[in-house]
Structures are given as structure tokens and as C-alpha cells.
Structure 1
Amino acid sequence: MKKIAVIGAGVSGLSTAFYIEKLGGNNVSVTVFEKEAVPGGKMLTVIKDDFIIETGPNGFLDNKPYTLELVKALKIENRLYRSSDRARKRFVFVNGKLVRLPENPVAFLSSYVMSLKGKLRLAAEYFIPPKKDDSDESLSSFVKRRIGEEALEKLIDPMAAGIFAGDPDKLSVKAAFPAVWHLEKKYGGLIKGLLAMRKEKKDATAGPGGVLTSFKGGVKDLIDALVASIKGRVFTETDVKKLTPEGGKWKVTWEKGDEIFEETFDSVVLSTPSYIAAALVQRFDRKLAEKLHEIEYSPIAVVAFGFVKKGLGHDLDGFGFLVPRTEGRKILGALWDSSVFPNRAPAGKVLIRAMVGGARQPHLALAGEEEIARIAYKDIKKIMKIRHKPIMTAVFKHPKGIPHYTVGHVEKVNEIFKLASKHKGLLLNSNAYRGVGVNDCVYNAMKTAESVVSE
């Protein structure tokens, strides 16, 4: 029987363990190690004063099959919770007011998000020749080249902050937005690509598509189902101290309580953030560790506010809003969670989550909890014209929150995986490498499990 260690019990690690057992059957024995008391990584759900609060992502998009297939395999389809129609209404804070983002070209023409000059520049993208080489470039460079400076400021910069908490001047378009990058490579431009895809009857979108889907009890439902499904051992509050290659196998040394344990495994999957993986491989592969350390992370804080709905001053009719950096605010945006998923707040109450920090203002995410809450409340009060004080506040700090896929990330990851492949039985799988969304994590978990079982 093949013994496999999975280090890290976020959605990537748990999904990898699940698929290893599914593919390997009785021929594999899996042990999962998790440093924290509760599995899930940053995908945690907290109940406070009857509010259902996500500390990180609030679901996944159903435009890709991977998470839905996992849910089916776990037999928890009855727990799925699709977002309300309100989630289609998204806003951006421009020129000191909330403006609804247009959903189609006709709505875009009459929208106040961009000036007439900016709209004409965007439309001119059809005539812009494609970049001649395949070299990577920043999101800012790509957007300015193809659709103009105003589109970058008012549309793309806030989107980058919302997805990656990232800086468009540093984000790699090839790694962070591969669908957009491929439109230019394959079709010669974004508008040409979208028109061609519509003719081919494909999903003609380069941005987030599909319906946002979560679970009745929050993302915790998925994590709990994964933990319950794993037949092998799942160790929590367990700190892996050392990873040692030993005659084609791997000795794992870990600390639980005041005791030190050791065990040898045939394969090890590092489903940790890249900086933790770097610390574990440092002793036997310094070059791999150096490359892993090169992957940056953006700090972010999530602030949840519960309010009495009556007399709030805003109808929360939508998904929420994002804030361009040119507006000079301290929050990146806010999600109207109880509008998207109505059961997230008790009757007569609403739940809003604001995001603070990111690559834009990292120091804000590292401030004290009271200060972060004060900053977030001040901004949402002014932007949304809120009249109430919150009846519930919760702050969740993530000092190394979201991997920041900077220019050259694809090549860096290719080099990391090439170096790792020299060590038989060593695999890497987390959101640090090839996609930060839940769908990406589940897909990469499937591929990693296939590699482990077929080795």
C-alpha cells in the first residue's frame, strides 16, 4: 500500500486527499497534516450573533464544472445555495458615487461609469494590432495598450483589487487573467475574440461568468464534507517541522502538543502557501526554496458588519461595489452578503463585508482590529450614506492573504515545478501557483492526485 502525506488542509489539500483516495482505492493510505485547529485554510465560516460570515471567499462560479463535480462526488448537492438575482447587479464607486456596471454593450453606451472619450477609446480596441511576441506584461500595460487608461482606472483596477487584492502595475496578465491574454493571442484582440466566440457559440466572456454558488451553511459545508469523506487520518493542531528525503521516500517530522513524531511516506504533497513550502524544502533544495520565496502575497483584512435593515439608508440591491484607487478611499470594496445569499443575516438584519489593504495599501490590513474596523466603517458609511451604527462587527486579518501573481509568474511556476519534479514523490499544490479561485484549486487537486496515484 502506498503511503501519502498531504501537508495543509485548505480546500486544495483536502480536495487532493479526497481524489487520491477516490483514484487509488485500497492501494493508498492518506494522512493530512494541518497546523490550525480547524481545517479549511482561509475558507472558513464563522457564526456570530446568528450572522453567517465568510472569513475569505464566499463561494465559486458555476461556469466551470470542477467544484460542482466534487460536490456531486461528496453527495452534498442538497447543500448548494445559488446566489440571488441581485448578484448580477454590481457597482463601482466613481466620481464620488456608486454607479452600476453595465451588463451588455447597449447598457455600456448609456452608462456613467466612463466618459464618452473613454468609451470611444475602448471601442477602438477592435483596430488595435496584437502584441507580436508572447512575453508577459503587467495588467496595467495590457489594458492601457488595448482599451485605454480610463478603462484601467475605472474598470480593471477595481476588478484586480476585488479578485487578487492586487496591484495592476505588478499583476501578470498571463497568470492572473489567462482568458483575456488568450483572446489577444488567438483572435488578435478582445472585441474580435468575443465576437468570434459568440459565433462559435462558446461562453463569450473573458471575465467572471456563471452564477456565484455557495452552500447553505457557508463554505464550511464543503470543508466539513471533505474532512468527513477522507478515510485516512486528518491531524489538526499539528506543525510539520521537517521534511527529509530518505532512500526514495520521505520522512515527515511533526509536533503535536509537546510531542515530536516521525513517519515515512512514499509521496508528499505540499498544499501549503509557497513560503511554508519553501521552509520545508530549504534543507535539501535551496534553489527550489528561493524560487518558492519569490511568490508574493497581498495582506488583506475582511471586516463584517451587521446592521438593522430598517432605516439603513441604502437598499443593498446588488452584489456590492469596488473602489478604484483614483478615488482615494481606504477600502477596496464591499460585498452585500445578505443580498447575495439572503440567509447570511437574521430576519430584519443585513450583512456587509468590506475589504481593507491589499497590494494597494498593505499597511492598513496589518493595523489593529479596532483601527481596521474604524477605517472600514468610515468608508462604507460615507459611500453608502449609512445612517446606523453596526450591531455586529467582526474582523478577520490575513497578513499573507492572496498570492500576488506578478509579471513572470507563469515562467516562475514552471521553473518551480521543474525543480520539484527532480525529487521523486514530491508534489506542490496550492493557490500560489495556477489559479486562486475555488474551481482552480479543485481542478489542480484532481491533476495532482492523478500524478500521485500514477507515479
Structure 2
Amino acid sequence: MKRIAIIGGGTGGLITAYLLEKKSSENLDITLFESNERVGGKILTRQFETAAVTYEAGVAEIYDYSHLGHDPLRHLIAELGLPTINMFGQTVVFGDRIMRHKGDIKRHFGKKTVKAIDNFRKRGSALLSPQNYYDAGWPDDNQHIWAQRSFQSVLAKIPDDAARRFLQVAVHSDLAIEPHLTNGLFGLENCLMDDPRYLRLYTIAGGIERLPQTLKQQISARVQLSCPVVRVQKTHYNTYCVSFRHNEQVESNDFDIVVLALPNYWLPRIEWGGKRLALAMQEHHAYYDSPAHYLRISILFQKPFWRKLITDSYFQLDAFGGCCVYDESSRYDAGTYGVLSWLLGGSDALIMSNYEDQILIRKVLETLPKSLIEGRDLFIEGHVHRWVGTVSAQPGGHPIKGSKARHLPEPQEHPGLFVVGDYLFDSTINGVLDSADIATDMILNYFKKPKLHSTPINHKKAKTSSTNKSDFDDYNGKQREQKVLEEYFDKKYIIKLIDIVWRRKPPYRLLNSGAANGLTLAALAKEGIDAWGIENNEYIHKQTHRKLRHKNLLADIRALPFADNYFDFVYDTCLCHIPDSDIDQAIQELHRVVKYGICLQAVTSDAVQKSAKKQLFDSVQSFHSTQEWSERFVRNGFQLAINEPQVLDKVWKCEKKVTAGETWYPTRESMKYCFYTKQENIRLPLMMELILRTASHLLT
């Protein structure tokens, strides 16, 4: 039985344990270490002492992406049977001016300010579409034109002072840092959060802390509370010795895998055994060390006095550089009471965290506008919760790394030590679920350890191989050839997928990379497709039918013998059979010869094992999940071809129909990463920026 240590009992650690138990077909021996007496980390739901009224003292809300595509967190919460409550808010309060909509802004600041705000939001939407917003958080974001600029420099371009101030106030609490300490893209993403086309908010009925509490109940892992880990070191047996404090004593246990589900700032508190691991963890911590700050002041009032003017779930206030005020009593039953919770961010939160609770309570009460000043006399009870340095000012790091580099800090000698954290994505619960999902896939792939065969590498010419004859024994004999073709290839399936994704029907020219003896080419030719193939295994290529030899070439995907843009589409089954070090070169060659897009049908690590023949995995050299493959394609000039949920629905329906429900892919979402469109030389966001700059120049 595999032994796994998860260090950190926050949401990341609990989700990691939950996903491991759910995904693994084997029983796992999981121990979760938590330094405190409770699980949940930054998710903290509390009640006042005077009245049994609930409020959020930590994470304030959950992000909803379900209107844009698959939302893993929404799915998990529903799977756990937790009911949800939608949240909304658009009110901004400047001093004594309460602005609920554009008309109020115009009345208080004038047409010029409204126009400047509208222009900024239009420009932002042009540079980041809702679908690209949904797909954000990956290395291709590094190419965005605002990724190399500070958000302060972006705001400085807004010509109207009032508009600039308005937007900065509206986004400040979401950033949790000052605009000059994060980049323009992260600032833009937070500005667009107020647009329901991009993002919607919700909470869990009864409190968000129900999520970690329910996860703890669902997992079978041992949860060791009040057991802080003090040292991690690899042993001579390729296991990991984890030392922790328990009952004032230091104890140690060995594990096959260690997962560090900790906030980044906690990593230096652990001693790392061995110079190589210590250096790797220092570098990992330094790379993501961009602390941002929050401060929560929650107050119980005799009644919800503000609702005569503000009915939103939350509103923005211009105090403390811009803070968000939540109506906690609008989402949790407070009876006749009312609860407001001020969320301060950035420098104000850092500085004021040193103030005594009573001073902080008095200061937030003083921010109430004159029209709501009666609230000061309705005060009953207040509490302060400090979250200094607990979130990231630049989540994902800068530049953003690929998923393996993020989650595997020292892969050479410590391939069994993984990290999980919201700071690796977007500092949200959604982000920590994404991180845990990737890490658990990597852990299970690590346990699989497929048999890998080495291929001689010569980059100066196309490479061929005469080895691994047994991999193609099934092709011997005409009857066997036909059976193999029927078992592993469905021409109508491929044609249907291309039609759904790219809306193209035959005729077109297609390359099958990894065509074996060319049987697929003959099948596709009958459907009006000009099908070509490449195969680098001499043994199987020699069995190519005489009539197909001019179309099925003995060649290597790393050096394709075709002109630029020669093919409309590529159907690939061989990328997984070349060394990982050559993947980029191969994808660049595919980018060169294809005009429209690629359908990836290679063996992936997240393939459903019961739907795949074991021998298909034997000759795999690059064992990646579909999502990991997407990183390689995107960084080499491709973009995801599926951006609309309805298109993905059709692809998934086609997959289930062809496979009679025994799908190769584990989820609908994983199929999104099987289709790639060739990008033009100039990215659309860059083109929009050039257009906007030109228009601005002409207007001035």
C-alpha cells in the first residue's frame, strides 16, 4: 500500500486527500498533518457571542465559472451535497455619495468620468475575452501585452482623475495589494470580476467552512491535528522521512509521497534535509514570495439599517484605499439583526493589523456615510481577524510556469515531493482545487511508472527505428490488420470531431502522424480526404500496402518532409512515443506544416485504464495528462480550439456515442485539451492593442 503524507490541513490538503482517494483504483495510506487544532486554513466561519448569528471571518466568497464552461469547484460542492447562495453587488460608496448604477456615477462625477470608465472596461474586454478569462492562469498569459507592465502604469493611462480613482477603489480589496506591486494582467482580471459575463459569486448555505468540514468527513485519511511538521528528508530507500511535533515530542514516519499543501510563507519554517532539496525549496519560496494582506472587521448591529439604501450582498467603499463591505446577514439567517463585514486589503490592512481591535472597530464605523450614520448607535459586537501575508500579490508567479514546474520543485532527486497551493494559481478556493487536481494526477502517474523505451536521437536528420517489433505484432495478417483498424481507429469519429471543432467537412488534406502501415490513410481516402502518413518504425512501415507507399512515408515527426502549411489538419498518435526533451521540436514541426489545427489522440496519463489496452502504454516515452500536453502546444504557437461550452458538449457526446459509454477520457473537460488551432503570427490581444493605440493617437 502506498503511503502518502499531506502536510497542511487547509482546503488544499483536504481536497488533495479527497481527490487521491476518489481517483485511485488502489487503497492508499494517507496521513494529513495540521499544525493547528482545526482544519480549513483561511476558510473560517464564526458566530457572534451576543447572538447566534453567522459571519465569514476568512474567505468571503466563491467564484462561479459555470456559465463559461466546466467548473470543478461547483461540481465538487454539488457532489458533497452542499447548497449554495448566489451573491451580487454593484454599489460603490464615495464619501457620502452612494452610486448604484451608471446614472448615479454620471450625476456625481459627470459624463467625462462615465465615458473614461466605459472606455477602460471596453479596452479591457477587448484584451481579455470571457473565454480567455476562464482559461487564464497558464504560461501563454506571459505573452499578454499587460503581463510585463505594472497595474499602476495601466491605471495611470486613464485620462480622468475621478474615473481612475473609481476603478482603483473598486478593485483594491480584490487585489489585496497596491497596484504597483502586481502586473497589469492580474489587475485587469480583477477589474473584470464585476462583469457577470466573466465571473459570478456565491457562498455555501450555513457558511463556507462547511466545505472543509464535509471534506474531512468524506476522506478516510488520518487527520493529525496539532502536529506541525518540522523536517522533511529523503531516505536511502527512496522514501521520505517526515518529522513532526506531537504531544511535545518529535516523532518521525516514512512515506512514499509527500504533498506540501501549505501557504508559501510557511515553507521556510520546515527544515529540508539535504542541500539539493533545501536549495530547491528556497528557490520555490522566493519565486512565489509576493505577500498580500487582508483584514476582516465584522460587526453585529441591532438591525440591517443600510438596506433602505443598499440591498446588495456587498458594496465597495472608498475608505482605506478601497475596501469591500459584505452584508453577511443577507446570506446567512440573522433574524432581526444585521451584520456588516469590512474587508481591508493591501498596505492599509498591513499597517492597521497592528491596531487594537477596539480601535479598528471604531475606525470602520466612522466610514459609514452620513445617510447611514445611525448604524454607530446600533452597534452590538465586533470581531477582528487578521490575514497578513496569507494571499499572493502575483499568484502563479511571474512569469507563470508550467504545471510540472509549479508542483514539482525538485524533480531530479525528489520526484515524489509535490506542492499544492492557491498561490500557484489565483489565490482562491477555485485555484487550490485546480492545483490539487494537477498534483494528484501527477502523483498517480508517478505510481504507474510505465515502461519507457529509449530512442537514439539525431537532430540532423529524420529518425527511424527498427525496434519494438512486438508492439506491432497485432498487424500481421490481413484479417488481423482489419480487426486492429476497427478496434483502434474510427474514421467517421475523426471526421465528425473535425466538423464539430473546426466546422470543416471533406475534402481536405490531413496528416496522420504515427500511421503505422497506412491502413488509416486508405480508410480516410474513401471519405474524400487527401490523407498522408508518417511512421518512423521501419518494421511496421515495411508492411505498408504498395498502393499507399507514396502517401505513407518513413519519416520522423521531429523533421517532417513537407512544405509549410501543407496540411489542413493533423491527426496525431505518435507524440507520446518520442522523448520528452524532443516534444517542443516535434510540435514546432507540426505548427510549421499545418494550416488549421491538430487533433491529439496520443496515449495520455489520464486515459481511463479500463478503456485502454495495457500494451498501448508500454512504448510511451512522454507520459503526460491532456492538460499537460496543452501547455506544450500553447507555448509552441497553438491555442485551444474549443472555447465554447456547447462545442465541448458536442465533442463529449460524440465520444460517448462512439465508445458506447466506455470513454477513453476521464471527463468531458479533459477532451478540451485534445484540439489545437494554429495561432497567427500576431495574437488577437496584441492586434487589439495596436488598433486601440492607433485610434487613441488619431483622436488626440
Q: Determine if the TM-score, normalized by the shorter chain, exceeds 0.5.
A: yes
Cα pair 1:98 1:321 within 8 Å, conserved: no
Cα pair 2:230 2:271 within 8 Å, conserved: no
Cα pair 2:408 2:417 within 8 Å, conserved: no
**Aligned equivalents of 1:224 and 1:436: distance in 2?**
20
1:274 maps to 264
Q: What whole-Å deviation, never above 9, does each CA across 1:68-114 have from its counterpart, x for those lacking one?
A: 2112332x1xx31313xxx4342212254221245xxxx69x74475
Amino acid at match of 1:169: H
SS of the residue aligned with 2:385? strand
**Aligned equivalents of 1:58 and 1:133: distance in 2?**
31
Q: 1:177 to 1:279 in 2, by over 3 A?
A: farther
Q: 1:286 to 1:145 in 2, by over 3 A?
A: same
Cα pair 1:338 1:351 within 8 Å, conserved: yes
Give 1:175 shift.
4.5
**Aligned equivalents of 2:371 and 2:7: distance in 1?**
42
**Aligned equivalents of 2:420 and 2:151: distance in 1?**
25
Amino acid at match of 1:173: G
SS of the residue aligned with 1:26? coil
SS of the residue aligned with 1:454? helix
Amino acid at match of 2:263: P
2:317 maps to 323
Give 1:40 shift.
0.4
**Aligned equivalents of 1:145 and 1:331: distance in 2?**
20
Q: 1:204 to 1:369 in 2, by over 3 A?
A: closer
2:579 maps to none
Give 1:300 shift.
2.2
Give 1:35 shift.
0.8
**Aligned equivalents of 2:271 and 2:107: distance in 1?**
52
**Aligned equivalents of 2:280 and 2:431: distance in 1?**
27
Fraction of identical pairs, as percent: 18
Counterparts of residues 56-67 of structure 1 (less than 5 Å): 56-64=58-66, 65-67=71-73
Amino acid at match of 1:429: V
SS of the residue aligned with 2:269? helix
1:68 aligns with 2:71: no
Cα pair 1:241 1:255 within 8 Å, conserved: yes
1:348 aligns with 2:348: no
SS of the residue aligned with 2:439? helix
**Aligned equivalents of 1:266 and 1:370: distance in 2?**
49
Q: Larger Rg: 1 or 2?
A: 2
1:55 maps to 57
Cα pair 1:31 1:233 within 8 Å, conserved: yes
**Aligned equivalents of 1:148 and 1:176: distance in 2?**
18
Q: What whole-Å deviation, never above 9, does each CA across 1:295-352 have from its counterpart, x for those lacking one?
A: 122232211111111766855411222234xxx647723111212x141x2x211111
Which runs of no fewer than 5 residues in structure 2 stay unpaired? Answer: 128-142, 447-700
2:359 maps to 371
Cα pair 1:305 1:390 within 8 Å, conserved: yes
Q: 1:146 to 1:420 in 2, by over 3 A?
A: farther
1:227 aligns with 2:216: yes
**Aligned equivalents of 1:352 and 1:452: distance in 2?**
43
Counterparts of residues 288-367 of structure 1 (less than 5 Å): 288-293=281-286, 295-309=289-303, 315-324=309-318, 329=320, 332-339=323-330, 341-343=331-333, 345=334, 347-367=335-355
SS of the residue aligned with 1:237? coil
Q: 1:252 to 1:159 in 2, by over 3 A?
A: farther
> Which residue, out of 245, 248, 254, partners 1:264?
254
**Aligned equivalents of 1:419 and 1:96: distance in 2?**
50
Amino acid at match of 2:437: M
Q: 1:301 to 1:406 in 2, by over 3 A?
A: same
Cα pair 2:416 2:443 within 8 Å, conserved: yes
1:161 maps to 172
Q: 1:353 to 1:432 in 2, by over 3 A?
A: same
Cα pair 1:94 1:113 within 8 Å, conserved: no
Q: 1:246 to 1:206 in 2, by over 3 A?
A: farther
TM-score computed with the length of structure 1 as normaliser: 0.80
Amino acid at match of 1:162: S
2:83 maps to 80
Cα pair 1:331 1:354 within 8 Å, conserved: no
Give 1:280 shift.
2.7
Cα pair 1:304 1:351 within 8 Å, conserved: yes
Higher mean alpha-carbon deviation, 92-101 vs 377-386, is at 377-386
1:90 maps to 90
Cα pair 2:17 2:219 within 8 Å, conserved: yes
Q: 1:16 to 1:158 in 2, by over 3 A?
A: farther
Counterparts of residues 117-266 of structure 1 (less than 5 Å): 117-124=112-119, 135-145=147-157, 150-155=162-167, 157-175=168-186, 177=188, 205=195, 209-210=199-200, 212-247=201-236, 248-266=238-256
Cα pair 2:6 2:260 within 8 Å, conserved: yes
Q: 1:168 to 1:360 in 2, by over 3 A?
A: farther
1:421 maps to 411
Cα pair 1:308 1:350 within 8 Å, conserved: yes
Give 1:8 shift.
0.9
| Between structures 1 and 2, the one with greater strand share | 1
Q: 1:278 to 1:266 in 2, by over 3 A?
A: same
Amino acid at match of 2:418: L
Cα pair 1:239 1:254 within 8 Å, conserved: yes
Q: CA RMSD in A?
A: 3.3
Give 1:164 shift.
3.0
Q: 1:220 to 1:406 in 2, by over 3 A?
A: closer
**Aligned equivalents of 2:187 and 2:419: distance in 1?**
19
Higher mean alpha-carbon deviation, 143-152 vs 24-33, is at 143-152
SS of the residue aligned with 2:366? helix
Which runs of no fewer than 5 residues in structure 1 stay unpaired? Answer: 181-189, 191-202
* Count of aligned positions: 415
2:398 maps to 409
Higher mean alpha-carbon deviation, 117-126 vs 157-166, is at 117-126
Give 1:149 shift.
5.6
